[in-house]
Amino acid sequence: MINAIIIINNRRYTVECSESNTVLDVLESIRKEKKLSLHYRHSCHHGSCGTCGAIINCIEGLMCLTKISDLMHERKTTSGKDTVAPQYENGKLIINLEPLKKAAYIADIAVYPAQLFESIPETASYKRSIERANASQLEPDSSYDELYKQICSDAAQTQEPVPDKHVFMKNSLIRNKLELCIECGLCLSACPEEFRGPAGLAAIHTALAKNKPETSTYSNLLALAYAEDGIAQCKRHFACSRVCPQGVAPGRRIQELRAIDSKNSNT
């Protein structure tokens, strides 16, 4: 058991918790045991929704994935150069929580992340389709036949277009995944510059790969990357890539967008 002092907005909460608890677990128990109103965003509790970001002892992190034990040793700051050492007060670990930056403030550490979501273009799809390595060996099982029939009969009732059977069956062999980026805004908060920001530019980079260069979607996305608030403003701090909980590497993607930029301007 660890004794800790959680500091939010100059309010201090003394708690007893286990090293394996997450910061979010601790806030949840404060709210339950002390019956306090304490405002913070949370939803999935496993690093998938992206709501629970905060600045935890000076470094952006997801509260649901940051364990108390993580805060008990020295950690590299977002600049990559300095470190923050754990601080104790009368033997109690200090856990200082601040709201993410570049988001509208609601209360305590709860924010409203409009800037983040505005930075992601509407044409950036959230889905990835990946061909299976052994696709040629696979054939759709007949349950897809039935499913196809059902979809056709539904479509007949609502007068919707029916998907092509061949395409439908072929799609059943493709692996569908959601994008890696969980839209948590840690990168945006950690970046010292003011511009569209890492999450939005990384989303553009991902979306470009899904669209053919001759399409207008592609050129519009590229135009956003080139725009005044685009890649030109990135000063290569790489704070974004250091805090990203999903390994999206937005910093590297911005550099890759620059490479597309120069390729295009050469031709």
Partner 1 sequence: MKNNLPSRKKLNKTIAIIGGGGTGCALAWDLSLRGFSVLVFEKGELTSGTTGRHHGQIHSGARYAVGDKNIARECMEESILLRKLVPEAVEFNGGIFLALTDEEADYTDTFIEACHEAGIPAQEISIEKALQFEPLINPHCKRCVTVPDGTFDAFRVPLSFAAGARMLGAAFYSFHEVVQLDTVGNKIISLIVTTPEGKQQSFAADFVINAGGAWAKQIAALAKVHVPVTPAPGTMVAVKNRFTDKVISRLAPPGDGDIIVPQRELSIIGSTQRVTDNPEGLLPLPEEISFLLKRATELIPAFSNAPIHAAWSAARPLAGEGLTGSGRSLSRDFMIVDHSDAGITNFISLIGGKATILRAMAEKAADYASEKLGEQTYCETRTIVPPSWRNYYTYKD
Nearer to partner 1, 151 or 260 (CB): 151
Q: Nearest distance from residue 245's CB to ligand FES, in Å?
A: 8
Nearer to ligand SF4, 15 or 205 (CB): 205
Query: Any contact of residue 42 with ligand FES (CB under 6 A)?
Result: yes
Q: Nearest distance from residue 202's CB to ligand FES, in Å?
A: 17
The span from the CA of 237 to the CA of 254, in Å, is 11
Picked from partner 1, ligand FES, ligand SF4, none, the partner binding residue 147 (CB below 5 to 8 A depending on kind) is: partner 1
Interface with ligand SF4 (CB under 6 A):
181-187, 198-199, 202, 243-246, 248, 250
DSSP for 130-183 reads EE-TTGGG----THHHHHHHHHHHHHHHHTPPPPPHHHHHHHTTEEEEE-S---
Q: Nearest distance from residue 24's CB to ligand FES, in Å?
A: 6
Residue 15, SS3 per DSSP: strand
Residue whose C-alpha is closest to residue 231's, from 250, 213, 216: 250
Query: Any contact of residue 50 with ligand FES (CB under 6 A)?
Result: yes
The span from the CA of 162 to the CA of 172, in Å, is 16
- Torsional class of 181: left (φ above 0), alpha (ψ -120 to 50), beta (otherwise): beta
The span from the CA of 183 to the CA of 187, in Å, is 9
**Paired tokens of 143:** 């349950």
Picked from ligand FES, ligand SF4, partner 1, none, the partner binding residue 68 (CB below 5 to 8 A depending on kind) is: none
Residue from 3, 29, 48, 77 binding ligand FES (CB under 6 A): 48
Residue whose C-alpha is closest to residue 250's, from 193, 212, 206, 194: 206
Q: Tell me how crowded residue 186 is: count the other CB atoms within 10 A of its CB.
A: 28
Interface with partner 1 (CB under 8 A):
21-22, 25, 28-29, 31-33, 37, 39-51, 64-65, 106-107, 110, 112-114, 116-118, 120, 122, 125-127, 134, 137-138, 141-147, 150-151, 154, 158, 160, 172, 175-178, 180, 182-183, 246
Query: Any contact of residue 64 with ligand FES (CB under 6 A)?
Result: yes
Contacts with ligand FES by CB under 6 A lie at 42-45, 47-52, 62, 64
